């Protein structure tokens, strides 16, 4: 038996501690799946003000009560605390960085919930966090085989590893996963002064005249991954706007960049056991039980329940890449012409919040809106809605379309990134397919796709087939987690092994 690989997994969001989107679910699901495959994996995240120490069983580690982190010309204290991540079968050690100024005093993760604006010192906050990760390892004399970090918030972990303690970490390999390129952590050049890094590496953090954390993450990583094969392709071909990151990956990492599709954690997202639902079901009972969830969902918003009227669900962060504008363009037509109810859960850009509130005032009986994030409601929407909409302009992977299929909720998605890799368009002739897929990012194409779903909904036999196809899909983490295990193993062996694992 080879000795288990040890990994430190670093993420700005981890379910159930802190979540704004899919990153949190993936951090939890992947870590648990790797743990089940014998990987000795530990997790690290910041303790934001919204993370309750009591609920999450976070407690002090005496030795790590004060680690001093150099920030500019002063020292900021970080206390590293401990908790666990678990499912019914395994558990993993969690480290949380606590600091009052940067994290505990803020309710939001990246944006101020009061104003909807990003915190002006996000560069400093996450530099501090990344440095705390590296200083903790150094303090503990723990130099894991792999440090796996995610998105711009944690991207500078690799930079600090390689510049502060190159000798100590010489056996440590670095994996950087891109969950999105639509937010690259781009800051003015002055941000450089906050990094405390030697001047000779400045070039490696700068991109088009700005400090770009994603670029820094790529520069120092041994392998870069992203969360679906199609998104990897789109990045490399620059068929989506990557702001030049695609070119960078082509030049620097021809065979150290790979797309591995995310999975679904079946202890959290399974309609038969879902801890957030009152009414559980499977492919046989969906026809009897889904209506109970639908009724409960509509009741929550004081909307009328009518079994004949389909409910369309949407759960998304409010950003342009998620196709919010497309939705806002078609919604009034749809809601005034069609017998349909829409339930929308999301948060983000203030202008979209306002537009959605307006829609809600215009169609109070058909459009239900919850601005913010609520895990229980997210599960109830997946279980209670008949259809689920993701009109994304870009979608690195997307989790909700997979949850939808497993919950017997038909996804309507645009053919991009992970949506393309997970949903197959339904063909009424053959009865094959798991959702409705449309190509063009236009209001017409979106409207036509929704019309197509509504037509099918009125033909119970076809609809039942479509729902059954979705529920029969296997999106478990098994395959993807195995791919990560192979990648980690290859990294401990050398370049040739990595090339073989990636290709
Ligand atoms: C980001 C992406 C989403 C992906 C998730 C987890 O939220 O936008 O597509 O599923 O990360 O990787």
21 CB within 6 A, ligand 1: yes
Question: How far away, in angstroms, is 22 Cα from ligand 1 center?
Answer: 5
Query: From residue 432, how far is each of 16, 415, 449, 464 by CA, in Å?
Result: 36, 17, 17, 12
- pLDDT digits 0-9 by tens, 345-386: 999 999 999 999 999 999 999 999 999 999 999 999 999 999
Residue 137 confidence (pLDDT) above 70: yes
23 CB within 6 A, ligand 1: yes
398 CB within 6 A, ligand 1: yes
Q: Cα separation of 109 and 49, whole Å? A: 8
Residue 254 confidence (pLDDT) above 70: no
Question: How far away, in angstroms, is 281 Cα from ligand 1 center?
Answer: 27
Task: Please list the alpha-helical segments (H only) found in 98-145.
Answer: 122-140
Residue 95 confidence (pLDDT) above 90: yes
CB count within 10 Å of CB 203 equals 9
Answer whether 395's CB lies under 8 Å from 419's CB. Answer: yes
Q: CB within 8 A of 307, min separation 6: which ones?
A: 291, 294
179 CB within 6 A, ligand 1: yes
The dihedral sign for the CA sequence 36, 38, 39, 40: positive
263 CB within 6 A, ligand 1: no
Q: Cα separation of 351 and 357, whole Å? A: 10
Angle at 49 between CA 45 and CA 53, to 5 degrees: 70
Residues 97 and 236 in one domain: yes
Domain assignment of residue 268, yes or no: no
153 CB within 6 A, ligand 1: no
Domain assignment of residue 310, yes or no: yes
Q: Cα separation of 283 and 281, whole Å? A: 7
Per the prediction, the chain carries an average pLDDT of 96
Residues 132 and 58 in one domain: yes
3-state SS, residue 248 = helix
CB count within 10 Å of CB 4 equals 12
Domain assignment of residue 278, yes or no: no
Residue 391's domain is classified under what CATH number?
A: 3.40.50.2000
Residues 220 and 101 in one domain: yes
Nearest by Cα to 395 from 212, 110, 182: 182
Q: Which of 24, 183, 242, 398 to mutate to test the pocket of ligand 1 (most atoms within 8 A of CB)?
A: 398
Task: Please list the alpha-helical segments (H only) found in 257-349.
Answer: 286-300, 324-337
Answer whether 297's CB lies under 8 Å from 311's CB. Answer: yes
Residues 332 and 460 in one domain: yes
Residues 110 and 189 in one domain: yes
Q: Cα separation of 190 and 486, whole Å? A: 40
Domain count, the chain: 2
Question: How far away, in angstroms, is 160 Cα from ligand 1 center?
Answer: 25
Domain assignment of residue 270, yes or no: no
Answer whether 94's CB lies under 8 Å from 64's CB. Answer: no
Side-chain-facing half-sphere of 323: CA atoms under 13 Å: 28
Q: What's the mean pLDDT in 132-151? A: 98
Nearest by Cα to 270 from 343, 379, 423: 379
Residue 253 confidence (pLDDT) above 70: no
Domain assignment of residue 76, yes or no: yes
Instruction: Please spell the DSSP secondary structure of 50-104, one letter per residue.
Output: TS-TTTTT-EE-GGGS-EEEEETTEEEEEEEEEEEEE-SS-EEEEEEEE-IIIII
Instruction: Please spell the DSSP secondary structure of 277-292, one letter per residue.
Output: -SS---TTTHHHHHHH
64-81: buried (b, 16+ CB within 10 Å) or exposed (e) per residue? beebebebeeeebebbbb
Angle at 415 between CA 409 and CA 416, to 5 degrees: 110
413 CB within 6 A, ligand 1: no
Residues 32 and 139 in one domain: yes
Q: What are phi and psi of 476, to 5 degrees?
A: -60, 165
Domain assignment of residue 165, yes or no: yes
pLDDT confidence of 500, banded at 50, 70, 90?
A: confident
Nearest by Cα to 185 from 145, 157, 222: 157
Q: Which of 33, 180, 231, 418 to mutate to test the pocket of ligand 1 (most atoms within 8 A of CB)?
A: 180
Q: What's the mean pLDDT in 14-42? A: 97
In ligand 1, the atom with minimum distance to the C-alpha of 322 is 8
Question: How far away, in angstroms, is 341 Cα from ligand 1 center?
Answer: 26
Nearest by Cα to 347 from 376, 389, 318: 318
Question: How far away, in angstroms, is 63 Cα from ligand 1 center?
Answer: 35
Residues 292 and 311 in one domain: yes
In ligand 1, the atom with minimum distance to the C-alpha of 231 is 9
Residues 459 and 317 in one domain: yes
Domain assignment of residue 42, yes or no: yes
Residues 338 and 223 in one domain: no
Residue 497 confidence (pLDDT) above 90: no
Question: How far away, in angstroms, is 455 Cα from ligand 1 center?
Answer: 30
Answer whether 182's CB lies under 8 Å from 155's CB. Answer: no
Q: What's the mean pLDDT in 449-455? A: 97
Answer whether 323's CB lies under 8 Å from 353's CB. Answer: no
Residues 425 and 487 in one domain: no
Structural domain of 176: 6-263+477-502
Question: How far away, in angstroms, is 476 Cα from ligand 1 center?
Answer: 16
Which residues partner with 45 through β-bridges?
Answer: 96
Cis-peptide, bond into residue 16, ω within 30° of zero: yes
Answer whether 177's CB lies under 8 Å from 226's CB. Answer: yes
Q: Which of 33, 176, 227 to mutate to test the pocket of ligand 1 (most atoms within 8 A of CB)?
A: 227
Answer whether 116's CB lies under 8 Å from 349's CB. Answer: yes
Answer whether 425's CB lies under 8 Å from 435's CB. Answer: yes
* Percent of the chain surpassing pLDDT 70: 99
Question: How far away, in angstroms, is 240 Cα from ligand 1 center?
Answer: 16
In ligand 1, the atom with minimum distance to the C-alpha of 262 is 12
- pLDDT digits 0-9 by tens, 179-207: 999 999 999 999 999 999 999 999 999 99
3-state SS, residue 389 = strand
Q: CB within 8 A of 4, min separation 6: which ones?
A: 38, 39, 40
Answer whether 62's CB lies under 8 Å from 41's CB. Answer: no
360 CB within 6 A, ligand 1: no
Q: What's the mean pLDDT in 378-398? A: 98
12 CB within 6 A, ligand 1: no
Question: How far away, in angstroms, is 393 Cα from ligand 1 center?
Answer: 13
Question: How far away, in angstroms, is 24 Cα from ligand 1 center?
Answer: 9
Residues 230 and 374 in one domain: no
Residues 387 and 438 in one domain: yes
Question: How far away, in angstroms, is 464 Cα from ligand 1 center?
Answer: 29
Domain assignment of residue 273, yes or no: no
pLDDT confidence of 338, banded at 50, 70, 90?
A: confident
Rg of the chain taking only CA atoms, in angstroms: 23
Nearest by Cα to 175 from 155, 202, 204: 155
- pLDDT digits 0-9 by tens, 210-243: 999 999 999 999 999 999 999 999 999 999 999 9
Per-residue model confidence (pLDDT) at position 279 = 98
């Amino acid at each position: 038996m080879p000795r288990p690989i040890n990994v430190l997994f670093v993420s700005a969001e981890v379910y159930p501690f802190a979540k704004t989107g899919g990153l949190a679910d993936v951090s939890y699901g992947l870590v648990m799946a790797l743990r089940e495959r014998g990987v000795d994996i530990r997790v690290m995240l910041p303790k934001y003000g919204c993370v309750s120490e009591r609920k999450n069983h976070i407690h002090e580690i005496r030795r790590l009560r004060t680690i001093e982190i150099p920030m500019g010309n002063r020292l900021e204290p970080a206390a590293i605390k401990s908790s666990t991540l678990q499912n019914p079968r395994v558990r993993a050690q969690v480290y949380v960085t606590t600091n009052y100024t940067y994290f505990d005093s803020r309710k939001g993760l990246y944006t101020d919930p009061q104003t909807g604006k990003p915190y002006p010192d996000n560069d400093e906050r996450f530099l501090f966090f990344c440095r705390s990760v590296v200083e903790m390892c150094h303090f503990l004399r723990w130099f894991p085989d792999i440090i796996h970090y995610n998105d711009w918030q944690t991207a500078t972990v690799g930079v600090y590893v390689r510049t502060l303690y190159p000798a100590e970490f010489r056996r440590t390999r670095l994996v950087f996963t891109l969950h999105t390129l639509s937010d690259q952590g781009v800051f003015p050049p002055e941000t450089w002064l906050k990094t405390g890094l030697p001047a000779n590496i400045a070039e490696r953090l700068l991109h088009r005249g700005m400090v770009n954390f994603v670029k820094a993450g790529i520069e120092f990583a041994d392998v870069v991954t992203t969360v679906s094969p199609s998104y990897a392709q789109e990045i490399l071909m620059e068929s989506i706007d990557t702001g030049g990151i695609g070119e960078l990956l082509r030049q620097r990492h021809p065979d150290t960049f790979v797309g591995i599709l995310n999975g679904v954690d079946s202890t959290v997202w399974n309609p038969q056991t879902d801890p957030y639902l009152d009414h559980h079901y499977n492919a046989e009972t969906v026809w009897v039980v889904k209506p109970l969830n639908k009724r409960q969902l509509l009741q929550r918003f004081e909307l009328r329940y009518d079994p004949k009227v389909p409910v369309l669900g949407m759960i998304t962060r409010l950003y342009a890449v998620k196709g919010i504008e497309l939705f806002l363009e078609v919604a009034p037509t749809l809601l005034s012409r069609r017998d349909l109810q829409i339930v929308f859960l999301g948060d983000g850009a203030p202008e979209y919040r306002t537009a959605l509130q307006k829609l809600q005032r215009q169609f109070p009986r058909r459009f239900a809106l919850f601005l913010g994030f609520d895990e229980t409601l997210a599960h109830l929407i997946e279980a209670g809605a008949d259809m689920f909409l993701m009109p994304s302009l870009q979608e690195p992977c997307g989790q909700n379309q997979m949850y939808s299929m497993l919950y017997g909720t038909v996804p309507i998605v645009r053919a991009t990134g992970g949506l393309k890799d997970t949903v197959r368009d339904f063909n009424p002739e053959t009865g094959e397919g798991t959702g409705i897929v449309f190509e063009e990012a236009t209001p017409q194409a979106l409207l036509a796709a929704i019309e197509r779903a509504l037509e099918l909904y009125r033909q119970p036999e076809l609809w039942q087939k479509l729902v059954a196809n979705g529920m029969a899909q296997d999106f478990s983490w098994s395959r993807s987690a195995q791919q990560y295990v192979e990648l980690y193993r290859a990294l401990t062996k050398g370049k040739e092994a990595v090339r073989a694992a990636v290709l």
